């Protein structure tokens, strides 16, 4: 049997199935079980006809059925990677360059697409989100139905081909003890973070792209007391918080007329009007950091993420980004506000082999010396040559009375080397 005849058989069968779907009025995405049943029926009929020599044979009927279901209800050649739990991210640099990441390590796949296939796949992914992509809006962030995050850039911003990124929503941890099992945290550090969340400390999670910031935010939120109301603000829905009283909000792109845009700054301001006990911001990049500081300084506990290379750089960045909010926002206001509003910074990193780790946890003391926010090291990771463990530093956080209100002696907790996460 030639490759050409195999391809011919699969192509003919797919064409027949598409016609059956059209005639029966099946929605492939919403009625996937009905589609799978129809495909199985069509494959059985096709195999019978091929046995009589009426149509080209199929090399693997089951595999062909899966491909057809993926083509109609999923993302075609990319669906296999979405279904693979070991794949964390998929990106397409060009039709001939499809990459995936497993365990933080990227690899070039054997998948080859056409320019039209890439365009069709992007259109299909955006259809459910209601977001658009055109010359006036060449970038788009959107959430897929399974929670994965889509980012697309089109030419002529890119040189020749669409650049497509799909960051899968892989839930590895919903509580801090899960991160302990994964090796990202020690029980001692996790017990402190659990107590810090319960005590209502404001926590900044910093790190590079794909270092596990969103996962850490999810895990920290697992320690929020059950009776509290949580409002989340994100550019695109990514957080999956295990909280009973939760309102999740995401940004909105402007319409074709340039109206109706809802930026992250607006969401943070609106969150303050919704009786929050906690505010969780997916990521601060620009002027919304000012609104976040105002919220935290108003006594509402919160957490957020930030791109930074260290805990110190994260604090420096938080002292700079709010200046983008306007000329009337000055360094003299921002620096002391950061010192009083941020309590703890958790910095994450990725090892060369793709392992995500907590690199350091520092406390913000509330003091400013010569325009510099003072910090105290709570935990830090030793160099690999010394074992690479996350060990206790010599610093202590402020706000002991807040820990005391939730029944925690923070000094005793940090002095203990056998601390366990509260259940």
DSSP 299-318: T--EEEEEE-SSHHHHHHHH
Confidence of residue 249 (pLDDT cuts 50, 70, 90): very high
Residue 275 domain flag: yes
The phi-psi region of residue 387 (left if phi > 0; otherwise alpha if psi is between -120 and 50; otherwise beta) is: left
Residue 169 clears pLDDT 50, i.e. is over it? yes
Does residue 226 sit in the same domain as residue 135? no
pLDDT in tens, 99-136: 999 887 899 999 999 999 999 899 888 887 778 888 77
Q: Which residue's entry shows tokens 């956080």? A: 397
What number is the average pLDDT over the span 334-352?
95
Rounded to an integer, what distance in angstroms lies between the CA atom of residue 51 and that of residue 8?
15
Rounded to an integer, what distance in angstroms lies between the CA atom of residue 69 and that of residue 88?
22
Main-chain dihedrals φ then ψ at residue 153, nearest 5 degrees: -130, 135
Check residues 266 and 298 and name the one with the higher pLDDT. 266
Does residue 69 sit in the same domain as residue 111? no
Q: Which residue's entry shows tokens 């793709």? A: 354
Residue 420 domain flag: no
Rounded to an integer, what distance in angstroms lies between the CA atom of residue 334 and that of residue 61?
64
**What is the 3-class SS of 143-212, one letter each residue?**
ECCCCCEEEEECECCECCCCEEEEECCCCCCCCHHHHHHHCCCCHHHHHHHHHHHHCCCCEEEEECCCCC
Residue 422 domain flag: no
**DSSP-assigned letter for residue 140:** E
What number is the average pLDDT over the span 72-98?
92
CATH number of 149's domain: 3.30.450.90
Check residues 387 and 347 and name the one with the higher pLDDT. 347
Residue 51 domain flag: yes
Rounded to an integer, what distance in angstroms lies between the CA atom of residue 180 and that of residue 176?
7
Q: Tokens for 400, please give them.
A: 């002991």
Does residue 237 sit in the same domain as residue 300? yes
Residue 421 domain flag: no
Residue 422 clears pLDDT 60, i.e. is over it? no
Does residue 207 sit in the same domain as residue 338? yes
The Cβ of residue 299 has, within 10 Å, a number of other Cβ atoms equal to: 8
Residue spans of alpha helices (H) in 327-418: 331-341, 400-405, 410-415
Does residue 151 sit in the same domain as residue 186? no
Distances (CA, A) of 349 to 55, 184, 361: 56, 10, 12
Residues with Cβ within 8 Å of residue 404, at least 6 apart in sequence? none
pLDDT in tens, 354-390: 888 999 999 999 999 988 999 999 999 999 889 889 9
What number is the average pLDDT over the span 186-203?
96
Residue 305 domain flag: yes
Does residue 190 sit in the same domain as residue 322? yes
Distances (CA, A) of 94 to 112, 165, 207, 220: 9, 11, 28, 38
Does residue 16 sit in the same domain as residue 95? no
| Chain length of the chain | 423
Does residue 241 sit in the same domain as residue 144? no
Does residue 69 sit in the same domain as residue 131? no
Rounded to an integer, what distance in angstroms lies between the CA atom of residue 335 and that of residue 196?
23
Rounded to an integer, what distance in angstroms lies between the CA atom of residue 190 and that of residue 182?
12
Range of the structural domain that residue 49 is part of: 3-73
pLDDT in tens, 399-421: 899 999 999 999 999 987 555 55
Rounded to an integer, what distance in angstroms lies between the CA atom of residue 207 and that of residue 154?
28
Q: Which of 32, 56, 73 is the last residue of a domain?
A: 73
Does residue 201 sit in the same domain as residue 308? yes
Q: Which of 134, 167, 200 is the last residue of a domain?
A: 167
> Within 13 Å and on the Cβ side, how many CA atoms surround 45?
12
CATH number of 354's domain: 3.40.50.300
Does residue 12 sit in the same domain as residue 150? no
Residue 56 clears pLDDT 50, i.e. is over it? yes
Q: What is the pLDDT of residue 73?
A: 82
Average pLDDT of every residue of the chain: 90
Give how many domains the chain has, as a whole number: 3
Residue 297 clears pLDDT 90, i.e. is over it? no
Does residue 311 sit in the same domain as residue 389? yes
């Amino acid at each position: 049997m030639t490759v050409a005849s195999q391809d011919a058989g699969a192509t003919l069968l797919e064409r027949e199935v598409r016609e059956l779907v059209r005639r029966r009025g099946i929605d492939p995405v919403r009625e996937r079980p009905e589609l799978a049943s129809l495909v199985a029926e069509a494959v059985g009929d096709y195999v019978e006809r091929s046995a009589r020599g009426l149509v080209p044979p199929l090399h693997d009927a089951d595999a062909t059925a899966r491909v057809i279901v993926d083509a109609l209800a999923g993302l075609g050649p990319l669906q296999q990677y979405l279904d693979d739990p070991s794949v964390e991210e998929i990106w397409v640099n060009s039709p001939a360059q499809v990459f995936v990441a497993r365990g933080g390590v990227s690899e070039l796949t054997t998948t080859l697409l056409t320019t039209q296939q890439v365009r069709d796949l992007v259109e299909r992914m955006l259809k459910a989100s209601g977001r658009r992509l055109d010359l006036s809006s060449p970038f788009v962030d959107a959430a897929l139905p399974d929670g994965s995050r889509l980012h697309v850039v089109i030419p002529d911003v890119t040189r020749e081909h669409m650049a497509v990124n799909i960051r899968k929503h892989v839930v590895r941890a919903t509580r801090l003890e899960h991160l302990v099992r994964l090796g990202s945290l020690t029980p001692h550090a996790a017990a402190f973070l659990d107590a810090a969340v319960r005590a209502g400390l404001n926590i900044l999670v910093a790190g590079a792209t794909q270092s596990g910031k969103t996962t850490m935010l999810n895990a920290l939120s697992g320690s929020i007391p059950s009776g509290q109301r949580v409002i989340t603000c994100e550019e695109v829905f990514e957080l999956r918080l295990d909280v009973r009283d939760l309102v999740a909000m995401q940004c909105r792109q402007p319409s074709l007329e340039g109206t109706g845009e809802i930026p992250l700054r607006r969401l943070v301001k609106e969150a303050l009007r919704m009786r929050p006990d906690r505010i969780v911001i997916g990521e601060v990049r620009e002027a919304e950091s000012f609104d976040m500081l105002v919220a935290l300084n108003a006594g509402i506990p919160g957490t957020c993420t930030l791109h930074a290379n260290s805990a110190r750089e994260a604090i420096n960045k938080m002292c700079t980004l709010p200046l983008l909010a306007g000329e009337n926002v000055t360094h003299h206001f921002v620096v002391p506000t950061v010192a009083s509003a941020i309590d703890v910074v958790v910095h994450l990193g990725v090892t060369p082999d793709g392992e995500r780790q907590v690199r350091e946890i520092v406390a913000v003391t509330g003091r400013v010396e010569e325009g510099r926010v003072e910090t105290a090291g709570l935990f830090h990771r030793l160099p690999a040559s010394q074992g690479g463990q996350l060990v206790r530093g010599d610093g202590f956080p402020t706000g002991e009375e807040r820990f005391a209100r939730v029944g925690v002696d923070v000094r005793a907790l940090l002095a203990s080397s056998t601390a366990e996460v509260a259940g």
